[in-house]
Amino acid sequence: MDSKLSVRAQKNDFGAELTGIALNKPLSAQQVEEIKHLWHRYQVVYFPDQPLTHPQLEAFTLAMGPFGHDPYIQAIENHQHILEIRRDPDEAVAPFGGSWHSDWSFQPAPPSATILHAKVVPPVGGATHYADGIRAFEALDAGFRDDLSSLRAVHSARRPYSHEGYRLGGERRSMKILPNDDAWATQVHPLIRTHPASGRQALWINPVYTLSIEGLEENESQAMLERLFAHLLQPEFTYRHRWSENMLTMWDNRSVLHCAQGGYDGYRRIMHRTTVAGSAPFHRPEVTSLERNI
């Protein structure tokens, strides 16, 4: 019989450490379901002390679901679904992912999960911050939530991944970024997103990829986004995650924003990243009691 995972939750049940399982071995159906259940509940789950080869990282990812599509970044040779997130000691450029975002929200069906495996962890700095879009939404005034319910936001990859945006971000030597004019395309998603597994509602916008709110004048749109970003990124909704070598962390891209922190100049930091395919975002406020029971 499968051993039960041990859970140590962070404050507000946002983020949890899971132990008692070896991810370098095939997972049973029961173990997969337990991990998914805890992931939906805590949104960010992490497994310390999990040394993994590339094939083992790929196998764990596939246990969670099909691979997502990861554009604009060169993958590891012979492993097209693993990205190496790397910053070498002598690089002056800002950390990759150093602004608040939800991975690939400009896609028609952004990834459901992002998985990050720590290979080289600097002795200082290098934390990742996460923001809880669910609690941020629930903390809004009920009338304001209703006002937001019908709004849709415009997302695009143009800021970091168009040729113009990439030049502004600075040259990276340790990672190969592949800017493309396709980054100018836009995708419209609901501003409030219903989680397809739990039915919970999340404020689902981010400062990197969300350009505007559909149907609003530019100044009105920007004022609304700034107000919502300021609310969403308050300390009470965020969690600072500290890494250790061989730790694997998986977060729910459908309700969580994240931001890579610096503070490790002069040291190397290497992470390997995969994504799990997701579905088109939707908003359905009528949620049954069964859907809420996760």
Q: In the chain, pLDDT over 70 holds for what percent of residues?
A: 95
User: Which segment of 170-174, 184-188, 264-268 scores lowest on mean pLDDT?
Assistant: 170-174
Q: What is the pLDDT of residue 114?
A: 98
205 and 283 in contact (C-beta within 8 Å)? no
Q: Quickly state the pLDDT bin for 68 (edges 50, 70, 90).
A: very high
Q: What is the pLDDT of residue 287?
A: 53
252 and 198 in contact (C-beta within 8 Å)? no
For the segment 43-67, the average pLDDT, to the nearest whole number, is 98
Residues identified as active-site: 101, 103, 258, 273
Rounded distance between C-alpha atoms, residue 108 and residue 281, angstroms: 8
Query: What's the gap between Cα 125 and its chain centre?
Result: 19
Q: What is the pLDDT of residue 173?
A: 80
For the segment 110-124, the average pLDDT, to the nearest whole number, is 98
Q: What is the pLDDT of residue 248?
A: 99
Domain boundaries, the chain: 6-292
Q: What is the pLDDT of residue 285?
A: 79
For residue 148, the one-letter residue type is L
209 and 102 in contact (C-beta within 8 Å)? yes
Sheet holding 83-87, edge to edge: 6-9, 16-19, 44-47, 248-252, 113-120, 269-276, 83-87
Which sign does the torsion angle of CA 11, 14, 20, 24 carry?
negative
Rounded distance between C-alpha atoms, residue 94 and residue 97, angstroms: 9
Q: What is the pLDDT of residues 243-289, one digit of tens each?
A: 999 999 999 999 999 999 999 999 999 999 999 999 999 999 765 43
Q: Is the pLDDT of residue 294 over 80?
A: no
Rounded distance between C-alpha atoms, residue 262 and residue 269, angstroms: 10
Q: What is the pLDDT of residue 3?
A: 59
Picking from 16, 63, 12, 85, the residue whose alpha carbon sits closest to that of residue 44 is 16
Q: What is the pLDDT of residue 245?
A: 98
Q: String of b and e for 90-115 (b: at least 16 CB within 10 Å)?
A: ebeeebbbebbbbbbbbbeebbbbbb
Q: What is the dihedral of CA 252, 253, 259, 261, to 10 degrees?
A: 50
Q: Quickly state the pLDDT bin for 92 (edges 50, 70, 90).
A: confident
- Judging by DSSP bridges, how do beta strands 269-276 and 192-194 pair with one another? unpaired
Q: What is the pLDDT of residue 165?
A: 86
Average pLDDT, the chain: 94
Interior CA angle at 89 toward 88 and 94, to 5°? 70
Element at 131 (helix H, strand E): strand 128-132
Rounded distance between C-alpha atoms, residue 247 and residue 18, angstroms: 11
Q: What is the pLDDT of residue 29?
A: 97
CATH number 3.60.130.10 given to 6-292: yes
Q: Quickly state the pLDDT bin for 171 (edges 50, 70, 90).
A: confident
Q: Is the pLDDT of residue 96 over 80?
A: yes
Q: Is the pLDDT of residue 14 over 90?
A: yes
Question: What pTM was estimated for this model as a whole?
Answer: 0.94
For the segment 159-172, the average pLDDT, to the nearest whole number, is 84
Q: What is the pLDDT of residue 288?
A: 42
Q: Is the pLDDT of residue 1 over 70?
A: no
Picking from 2, 20, 17, 285, the residue whose alpha carbon sits closest to that of residue 150 is 285
Q: Is the pLDDT of residue 290 over 60?
A: no
Rounded distance between C-alpha atoms, residue 214 and residue 28, angstroms: 44
For the segment 145-152, the average pLDDT, to the nearest whole number, is 96
Q: Is the pLDDT of residue 142 over 50?
A: yes
Q: What is the pLDDT of residue 292?
A: 43
For the segment 137-154, the average pLDDT, to the nearest whole number, is 96
